Structure formats: C-alpha cells, structure tokens
Amino acid sequence: MNLSRSIVIKSIRYHLRTNLAVAAGVAAATAVIVGALLVGESMRGSLRDMTLERLGKFDQVLVGDRFFRVAIAKEVRDTDGFGKRFSTALPLIYFPAGTAEHPDPTGLSATRSSGIQVLGITGDFWKQSSKTDLILDKAILQMKDDEVILNAPLARDLGVETGDHITLRLPAGDEIPADSTLAQKKDRVRGLAELKVVSILPAVGLARFSLRANQALPMTAFVTLAALQEQLEETDKCNALFVAGVNSEPAADGQQWLDEQIRLTPVDLGLHIRRHRLQSPALDEGEVGGADAAAVAFDYFSVTTDRMVLEDAVAASVQSVADRWNGQSAITYLADSITATTPNVDSVRLTEGIPYSMVTGVDNTKDLPYLPGNGVLKLDEIVINSDTAERLKVGVGETITIHYLEPESSHAEATVSRQDFTIRAIVPLTTPSSPFDEWGERTFEQPPTRFNDPSLTPEVEGISDQESIDNWEAPFPGYDKRRITDADEFYWDDHKTTPRAFVSLECGKKLWGSRFGSVTSVMIPAAATTTEEISERLTEEFHRQQVPAQIGLNFRAVKEEGLAASSGTTPFDGLFLGLSFFIIFAAIVLVSILFRLGIEQRYQDIGLLSALGVARPAVLSLFLREGLVVATLGSLCGVPLGLFYGAAMITGLQTLWVGAIGTQFLRTQFTWMSPTLGLITGLVVSAIVIYLSIRSLKHRTARSLLAGQTNSTVTAAKSGKWLPRVAIGSVVTGVAVGAAGTQLAGEMQAIAFVGGGIMLLTALTSLAWHWLKRPGGTALTLAGLAISNAKRNTTRSGMTVALVATASFLILAMSAFRLAPNDQGSGGFQWLARSAAPIYGDLASATARRAILGSAKMPGDAVIYSMRLKPGDDASCRNLYQSTQPQVYGVTQSFIEHYDDNPKAAFGWAKHASIPSGKPDNPWRLLLDDSDDQTIPIVVDNNTAMYSLHWYGGVGAEYELTYDDGQTIHVRVVALLANSVLQGALLMSDANFKETFPRVSGYRLFLVDQAQNDDQDDSGLVAYLENGLSEQGFDMKSTVQILDDLLAVQNTYLSAFQSLGALGLIFGVFGLGAVQLRNVFERRKELALMRAEGFSPGRLGRLVFIEMFMLLSCGLLVGVVSAMASVLPHMLASGVQPPLVGLSFWLLVILMSGMASGALAVLRTINAPVVAALRGE
C-alpha cells in the first residue's frame, strides 16, 4: 500500500473546490506566459516570413553606384560551382529613391510620391517570387518599355489606377560626383514620362521587394530593364546583380564565393583605356626606314574614368599595374587663372592673367621629361609651356600665381584659392599648322612636342567636347565669358585642353585632390603593352586588391542579413510578459492566497501528523506533492488557454494596438517551444509560490496547529512595530525623490515622480496593513463590525488591499510616461523634409537657394537647414527589424551654429558630454570635437540607441559599424537626444560625413522653420518648396505628425499595459471574491448565530458586502492617491493630458467587478441554512 500517494490523491479529491481554484490560478498564469511567448514567436516568425517573401529566391545582391556590363550576370552563371549554390543571376537596374508623378487631368499640378523604389527588370524577375500566382498575368511577364507596374502602396499614394499614366524621375548614372566643383549640378535627374500603368500588384511576394529590413510596405515601380537603359543612356549595362539561391535557405558561403568568382573589368568600373599618339608629319609621309620613335611626340595608353578623378582605391591599383611598364599617374585640374606675380621686364604685367587653363600635376620621367636629367620639381616650382611664358611675359626664375577653385563645393558656390610658383623651366609647345577640325584632328608642319598633349586632361562633358572655349557649359560657379580673349580662343583652337603648366604630382594632389580622388589619369607607355593586356591585368589586380568592395561593388547576403535582423529589436515575448505582468502577478498572488486558504483549513491535519511523530518536512512534502499535482493539471489546462490569449494579443496588435507595429503583418504561428516553455515556466513559478506558502509552517508547533491558530494571531504581536517605521521611511524617501524630480526634466522627471509615488504607495499600504493589524478601535455598528471582521485575518485582508492598490497604481502611474510632441522634440522646426534625389547645394545658403530655387528669399522668411544622408536602416522604434546599418545624417556648420543663438528652441537632450567652458552652451558643438582621431563623434536619439541599436553605454561609449559597401566606421557617442524627430539615425558633422562617406554628394534631409508667425498659413511655403524641388522629389512632413507617429509606439505599449493591467486586476478581484466566499464559509457558524439572534438575511448580506467593499475601496484609494502624486506633477510640467476617460472607465470596471464578485459571497451568506450552519455542516 502506498499510503502517502493515497493521501495525496484522496486529498486532492476531497478538497476539490479549493484545488480547482488553485488550478485555475495556475492555468491563468501559465496561459499568460504561453500567450506572451506565442506573441514573441509569432513576431519573429512573421518578420522572418516577410523577409523570405520580400526577397523571394534572391540570396545575394550587388548594387552599385555606377553601371557595369549586363554580361557579368552570364559570366557569373557560367562559372563552375554556380549551380551548386545558386539557380540564376539576373541583371537589373535598381534605384532605392526615385519619384513618381501622376499629373491631374488639367496637367497643372501633379500628385507625387517620393522615396520610391524603381526596378528595371526582365520577365525572369517575377519567377523568383514566392508568390507564384503573381506571375501568371501576361501583362506582367511581357511588360513593354513604355509600361510600368506599380505595387498597391504606390498606386494608393499616387491615386492611380490601371490604365493611368505616370512619370518616373531617377538620378542619372555614372557622373562626376556632384559635390565636385567641376561637376554639373543641374540635369542630374532623368525622367521616364508617359508610362502606362498596366498592373497594380498587391504588396505580396516580390511586389513588396525591398533591400532594407523594415515591416513598412515599400512603394515600388517596375519598368523594363531596356527602358531604363535607354533613358539613362547605359546600353547593355546595369547597376545591380540579383542572385537567386537554390532553395529558400541562403547558401552558407554564397557571398564569399561570389566575391571570389566575380571579375569586374575596367569597363565595369567606368574606366577607359585609350591610346594617345601624336607623331611628326615625317612619319605620315611613310619615310623609308619605318617608324622613327623620335618622331613620335607621345604614344601611351591612358586609364581614365567617367568620374573625372579615379577613386583612391582604383588609382592605387591602376598605378600598381602600370608600374610594371613604368607608368605614371597625373592629375590635371582647371586653373581659374594663371597670372604673373612679378612684373616682367619688357611690358606691363599681364594682371588679368590667362583664364580657364589646365595645369597638370605629374612627375618628371623619361616619358614625360620637362626637366633635364632626373630633376624633381619642388612643391613651389612650376614648368610652363612656351605659349604661357609668352602670354605672361615671364621667364625662368620668375613667379606666377595659379588661382583655382577648391575641388569640392557644397553651397553652389566655390572658394577660390591661390598658390604662387617659381618658374623652373619653360617647355616647348608647337603650334599646329591647322587647328583642330570637327573630327578632332590637327596638322603639324613642325614636329609637335611631348607637351602638345590635350589628353592629359580628362574628358569633362560640356568642356572638353566644345568647339570653342566660349561655348563651355561650365558647371562651376563664377564662369565669366567676358574674361576670354582672342588669344584664349586661339589657344583653344590649336591646343584644346593641353595643359599650360606642370607641377609635381605631389603638389597637384595636395592642391586639387579631394575626397573623390586625386588622380585623373594613369599613363602607360604604349610600346610596352596592349589595351587587352592592360585590361586583363587591371581586372586581376582589382580582384586581388578587392577594389570593387572598396568602392561599393560587392555582394550583400541580403537574405542572411534579413533573417538575422528578423530576430527583431524588441524581444516581444519579454515585452508581452512585461505588459501582462499584472495578470501573472494577480494569478500568482491568487494561487498563493487560495493555496494558503486550503492549508489553513487543514492546520489540524498537519498538527495531528506532527503529533503522531511524522517529521515536519515529511508532512509538508505531502502537501507540496498535492500542490504540484494541482499545479501540473492547472498548467496543462493553461496551455490551450494561452494559445487563445496569444491569439487575442496578436489580434490586438493588428487592430487596437497597430500603432505599436506600424502595419498589419503579424500572423499567429508557433512551434512546440512556446507551449512547452510556457508550461514549464508556469509550473515552476506556481511550484515556487506553493512551496513558499507552506514553508511558513515549518516552525509552527504541533500544538498551535492542532488548536487551529493562524499566522495572524501568532505573528501579530511581532510585526506591529515595523510597519509604521516602514511607512515613515517611505514617506520621507518619497518626498525626497519627488523633490529631486522637480529639478529634472522629461522622462527622468517622470521616473522620479513615479518613484516617489511608489514610496507613497508603500507608505499608505503599510499604514493600511498596520491599521488592519491593530485590534479594536471600531464602533459597534454594522460597518464597524464589518471592519473588525476584515481585521480578523490580517494577511488575507492586507494582501487584498496591497493587490488592488498596486494594480491600480501601476495602471494609473504609467500615464506619466505618455509622450506628446513638443518643441524639444522638433528643435523648434515645424517641418522635416526628404528628397529622393540629392539637392546639390546647402539651402541654408542664399547663394544656393538662388541657384536652385531661383530666389534667395523664402515665403514668410522661413529658414531651412540641409543635412546629408547616408541611406541605411531606419533605426527608429517604427522598425521592428534589428538595425545594424543605421542611416547617417551629416549636420552642417550652419545648423550647429543655429543653436548658439537659440537655446530656447533647442532640442531636448537626455544626456551629453560636458561642454568646454567658454564655449556656447550648445551640445551640437560636440560634433566638432576632434580630440580623438580614432572615433567619429556622433549624436543619436536615446530611444534609437537603447531600443533599436541596443547601445547601453551612454555618452562616451564607442561602437563599430560595418556598412553593406564594406566600410567600417568607429563612432563615439557625445550626446543623446530625447524623444526627437531625428530618431532612427546617427548624426555626425558635415566634415566628418564627407570624409567618411566620400561617395555621397548633396543633401537629402531638411529642417524647415516657418519663422515667427505661428498663425501664418504655411501652405504657401510647402507648395513653394515641393514644387520648386519636385524633380528631386522634395517631400515635407510636419514634425508634430512625425513625432506623433514615433511616440505612438511607446504610447501604444503604455495603453496595452494599462489595458492588460486592468484585466489582471479584474481577474484578481474575481479571485478575491472567491477568497471572500471562503471567508464566509469559515464563519458560517457565527453568521448562523447572528441569524438565530434575529439578523435578517439582507442585513447579514450587507455586512459581508461592506467588508469586501471596504477592502476594495481602501486598495483603490491607496493606489489612486499614490498614482496621482506620481502622475500629476509630471503631466502639469510636460503638458501631456492623461487619458482620463479611459482610465476612469477601467477603474469603474474594476470597482463593479469587485462588487459583482463580492455579491457571490453575499448570496451565499443570505441563502445558508441556519441549523446546518450552527452544526458546522
């Protein structure tokens, strides 16, 4: 016979009602835990599914900022080993930020959508979709060049339907970086007009394609690859390669394999290898004896780029290859003027100088000898050609000045600098007998020299291709035709872009090098090699030196990145466990209360067993086993309930709380993990609670247990003194914390006030408990009797008050953390704008505004500040994916200085590094701190740092980030913004930005202050800017609206917490009703006695009701008073309105629930048979 097992099983059955109540509590706790885990699993699963859906079968992606051969796709496909890892490689043209326009019927205005994706595709693209039903439509598969397919979000935004026509605007490709002084700032946007919308696809499958991990639906337009190639004049070229995997999981070594296999040729990098040869007329006549090398002025290959300057990584590789043939680098730049700085001997000094000339920085070599022997030019020495010497009337030893425009400009204005040189030598320049003709040919009667070489100057559209210097389409500011003389025209006719002067290569790089590069060509003697050999060797060298990766032409494992990011920024299981905390807490407290009730019923059993010599641990073990069986049954029941709860939470996130996740993408999904983990956790937590409930019996004597003495009577004398001390201490601490809060601001203030409120809650709850413990002191009235009844079981009554007080405090106090947009979040700006295409000029500059908008003055004297933008992940709380490559903003000096004089309009700061004394109290200036050259100082919003990037180090912490173009940067946090409109990005100074991301030109983010008159109608300003910059897709949004959207995430979570907390409290209140029912049962004899003595059932019912109502009201009062002490001061200070209606509703529901649950106890009392009760039956 297993007596102990028999006791456990029979006890469970015998005390079934109590055990069922305990099991229900455990089931509730387990259900909430399972549900929260289910939400987390569903979130991760949904994000993962979205990643797989939006990428289809594409594993790896190469997207460049330049165009390369379409043939590379086939080359990659034909590589051995490709088929083991991948199924296909497709060439595409991909633009992440374009603009779409849909004109209204009048044609006078248009609806615009900016920041849209544009993909130039072939029919094979759709075959990589996971949603195969999308590709069945012929219109999709056989789209024509004048047609476009939109996804539904873009169609909705534009307000178009199938059959409508739209225009797409895209940045033109492969141009000189716009921030280069010699680059065209205008006409950098190409338009594809009159595209017919042939299909609008729902945003599923590849119709929601995006390279960025974000649950927000992208707006995307699909056109044919051929259409884009034609419009961009990039025949047989593309700027992206998309490689599809064999199955849905990415190949393990896919990226590495592709990077190792791909071979980008010089053509793919936008390089040109041209032969330049100039020979004397004697050779043309076929002189006997063959070619006379001395009669050849020059014969070499040059390696040049469409971008005017070779990027440093490219230049280094080209030079490395050229070294085998004694090749050399050169930099040729435009001099604004060359003037004599010393009067010449014979005539008046040519003070005007020679305008718009070329100067080359190159070293003296045998192939380009401008000094005898191995002479080396010093940095302040120059060699000029004979024409220049004659024009300026200068000779060797005299000084000339080169005036030039700084190679980088960003304000649509350029800075002129100057450098003086001493003439070291004069080299001969032969004048041709016939100038350049329309085919670019000229004739020499006298042998030309090495210095008759216009090819030293890179081709610049609008300059080098012009017939006349007068016809230049000069991209640089300040071009003045009036400076051009006949002599300049003659020089142009004879020599075109032939350099007038030479400096050392080092000097040239120093003066005219920029972040874009410092070499314009590399020259290789032609006798030594061939074009093909140079190309082959360059291809290999680029691969060996990993040059493509250094210039952003490397593959990204987008699927692997996306799947890694789908773990999410926020652990939703933990979040929902936190949000459901109070339900779990209420359930656990109920389990404890009910289990203890059961134990109290059986004190005498415990006393008997002890008296009979069964050791206390063995006795308690029996009860623990019983509790564990009950908890196990409860947990098992809790699992299916938890699935319902989780599904309900997900429904809430899709509807009422959609503000927290942005879009309705969440789907319920789970594996065995959530139910199992929830079951185990619920069981363990309940087991711990049960164990703690019975542990207190360990030291109770058998005698007291036999006598049925409760803890309250045993411990009342002991604990009477410490409660008032706790209360006093809590009040003092609370006042101190609250007072400290008055000196703080923002969230810190809220935390301080809530902390003070918690102290007040502790004090009031302690006082309430102390009062409950004190016997007597009540009047002999019905209410007084009810109070004295409540005091009989201090633990139960005290826990009731504490439970209700804590719950109501938490629900109300969370309102303190509600956020509302304010000036500190917007920095005093009313608008934040983005452009799809960069704007090449800082609009803060009047010159730039005049050049770009046509007028320096803005409507209403509005002020605008520009910021550069490095595209990346949206690292704000709106993006649920984990951000690893946050976008970066470059903050201009003018923006920084704006806050020197406007401290009141400043952004709010969570924290910042100390500002050096004597400097303006402007934390933005910390971005200019260059004390540490290993790290880049950055500002980031505190929410972005904490919740998106998980940067917990605060101010002073350093981090490393690697971007998809292979670039790694080291940053140091110098300041943290508080709830700002600049969330989601890192901010660095403009100077650091240009140095760190040299390939990013122009500005794409803008803050607009519409100036002083708040009543002023701002529609004029919006129209002015959006229409004036429509080609660049300029889109303005109210900072209040942006902040609302950002803050909605936190506010939504608060609402969810308050709602779930209220549900938990209702649950707890109903459970307490069960406790009250138990109380009534235990006192049935005395209640029956009162009936026998003449109390009416109704009067007894009122007695029981008053007791419950008193405890409930006491708890609510304590909680509400404490919460108000927390919430009101902060809300008055911050101006945030608490959701009084909602909170009042919940409090009323709680009160009504409590009264309803108490009614059960009342009914039990009224209906109990008197005689049976007197007998104790």
Burial of 236 (0-12, 13-18, 19+ CB in 10 A): exposed
Position 612 contacts another protein (CB under 8 A) = yes
Structure tokens at 315: 């230049």
Which one, of 295, 297, 300, lies nearest residue 526 by Cα?
A: 300
Q: Are strands 296-305 and 521-525 parallel, antiparallel or unpaired?
A: antiparallel
Q: How far apart are CA 301 and CA 312, in angstroms?
A: 20
**Mask of contacts with another protein, 555-594, x by CB under 8 A?**
----------------------------------------
Distance CA 985, CA 1008 (A): 18
* Backbone φ/ψ region at 430: left (φ over 0), alpha (ψ -120 to 50), beta: beta
Q: Are 15 and 623 in contact (CB under 8 A)?
A: no
Residue 849's CB is within 10 A of a number of other CB atoms, namely: 21
> DSSP of 847-870, one letter per residue?
HHHHHHHS-S--GGG-EEEEEEEE
CB of 717 to another protein, least distance (A): 10
Residue 611 found at the interface with another protein (CB under 8 A): yes
Count of residues engaged in binding another protein, rule: CB under 8 A: 28
Non-local CB neighbours of 833 within 8 Å, separated by 6+ positions: 1005, 1006, 1007, 1008, 1025, 1034, 1035, 1036, 1037
CB of 5 to another protein, least distance (A): 8
Query: Of the candidates 235, 468, 604, 855, which one interacts with another protein according to CB under 8 A?
Result: 604
Cβ proximity to another protein: between 409 and 610 the closer is 610
- The residue among 604 and 781 lying less far from another protein, judged by its C-beta, is 604
Question: Using the rule CB under 8 A, is 2 a contact of another protein?
Answer: yes
Question: Using CB under 8 A, which of the segments 7-15, 960-968, 1070-1078, 1156-1164 binds another protein?
Answer: 7-15
Identity of the residue, 609 or 666, whose beta carbon is nearer to another protein in the bound complex: 609
Cβ closest to another protein, residue 108 vs residue 717: 717
Q: Which is nearer to another protein, 13 or 84 (CB)?
A: 13
Q: How far is the CB of 20 from another protein (least distance, A)?
A: 16
Quote the CA–CA distance of 1162 and 1093 in Å, as a whole number.
19
Nearer to another protein, 567 or 701 (CB): 701
**Using rule CB under 8 A, residue 14 touches another protein:** yes
Helices (H), 655-709: 673-695, 702-706
| Residue 640 vs 708, nearer CB to another protein | 708
**610 in contact with another protein (CB under 8 A):** yes
Q: Which of 316, 371, 614, 1170 binds another protein (CB under 8 A)?
A: 614
Nearest Cα neighbor of 179 from 992, 1002, 852, 1005 is 1002
Q: Which stretch binds another protein (CB under 8 A): 604-612, 733-741, 985-993, 1065-1073?
A: 604-612
Nearer to another protein, 12 or 816 (CB): 12
Question: Is the CB of 198 or the CB of 705 nearer to another protein?
Answer: 705
CA distances in angstroms from 940 to 449, 881, 927, 981, listed in the order given: 59, 18, 11, 11
For 179-326, where are the alpha helices, taking DSSP H only? 225-231, 254-261, 281-284, 312-322
In Å, how far are 626, 883, 1046 from 212, measured between CA atoms? 54, 10, 19
Stretch that binds another protein, among 3-11, 24-32, 652-660, 1099-1107 (CB under 8 A): 3-11
Comparing CB distances to another protein, the nearer of 231 and 710 is 710
Query: How far separated are the first and last CA of the chain, in Å rounded?
Result: 32
Q: Which of 149, 158, 334, 609 binds another protein (CB under 8 A)?
A: 609
Kindly state whether residue 608 participates in binding another protein, applying the rule CB under 8 A: yes
Q: Does 613 bind another protein (CB under 8 A)?
A: yes
* Shortest Å distance, C-beta 7 to another protein: 7
Half-sphere exposure of 614 (CA within 13 A, CB side): 13
Site map (CB under 8 A) of another protein, residues 618-647, x = contact: x-----------------------------
Q: Which of 1022, 1039, 1041 is nearest to 1030 (CA)?
A: 1022
Give the list of residues 6+ apart from residue 445 with CB closer than 8 angstroms, or none.
281, 433
Q: Does 1 bind another protein (CB under 8 A)?
A: yes
- Token look-up 């593959």 returns 555
Phi and psi at residue 490, in whole multiples of 5°? -60, -40
- Residue selected from 283, 564, 706, 928 as contacting another protein according to rule CB under 8 A: 706
User: Closest approach of Cβ 1136 to another protein, in Å?
Assistant: 55
Q: Which is nearer to another protein, 7 or 1159 (CB)?
A: 7
CB of 614 to another protein, least distance (A): 4
Decide: is 3 part of the binding site for another protein (CB under 8 A): yes
Look at phi and psi of residue 557 and say left if phi exceeds 0, alpha if psi is from -120 to 50, else beta: beta
Binding segment (CB under 8 A) for another protein, from list 97-105, 699-707, 770-778, 1054-1062 = 699-707
Q: Which residues contact 199 (CB under 8 A, 6 or more apart)?
A: 137, 139, 140, 143, 149, 150, 162
- Which of 145, 164, 605, 1082 contacts another protein by CB under 8 A? 605
DSSP 514-527: BTTBSBSEEEEEGG
Residue 1121 CB, shortest distance to another protein, in Å, is 36
- If the CB atoms of residues 629 and 1159 are measured against another protein, the closer one turns out to be 629
Is 338 or 606 the residue whose CB approaches another protein more closely? 606
Neighbours of 1025 (CB within 10 A): 24
6 interacts with another protein by CB under 8 A: yes
Mark the segment that binds another protein (CB under 8 A) among 9-17, 211-219, 1115-1123, 1154-1162: 9-17
Q: Are strands 381-385 and 863-870 parallel, antiparallel or unpaired?
A: unpaired
Closer of 3 and 1141 to another protein (Cβ) = 3
Stretch in the footprint of another protein (CB under 8 A) among 10-18, 566-574, 848-856, 1072-1080: 10-18
Q: What is the DSSP letter of 203?
A: S
Which one of 154-162, 309-317, 609-617, 1147-1155 is the stretch in contact with another protein (CB under 8 A)? 609-617
Q: What's 948's DSSP letter?
A: I
**Among the listed residues 127, 393, 510, 616, the single contact to another protein using CB under 8 A:** 616
Least distance between another protein and beta carbon 12 (Å): 9
User: Considering only CA atoms, which of 1101, 1105, 1097 is closest in space to residue 1155?
Assistant: 1105
Contact criterion met (CB below 8 Å) for 1056 and 657: yes
Q: Which of 374, 433, 471, 701 binds another protein (CB under 8 A)?
A: 701
Nearer to another protein, 569 or 610 (CB): 610
In the bound complex, what is the minimum distance in angstroms from residue 722's beta carbon to another protein?
A: 20
Q: What are phi and psi of 481, to 5 degrees?
A: -65, -25
What is the longest distance spanned by two Cα atoms in the chain? Answer: 147
Nearer to another protein, 615 or 957 (CB): 615
**Rounded CA separation 758/734 (Å):** 7
Q: Smaller CB distance to another protein: residue 602 or 878? A: 602
Least gap, CB of 1177 to another protein (angstroms): 10
**CB nearer another protein, residue 14 or residue 722:** 14
By rule CB under 8 A, what string of x and - marks binding of each residue 452-491 to another protein?
----------------------------------------
| Alpha-helix residue ranges (DSSP H) falling in 212-304 | 225-231, 254-261, 281-284
**13 near another protein (CB under 8 A):** yes
Binding residues vs another protein (CB under 8 A): 1-4, 6-7, 10-11, 13-15, 604-605, 607-616, 618, 701-703, 706
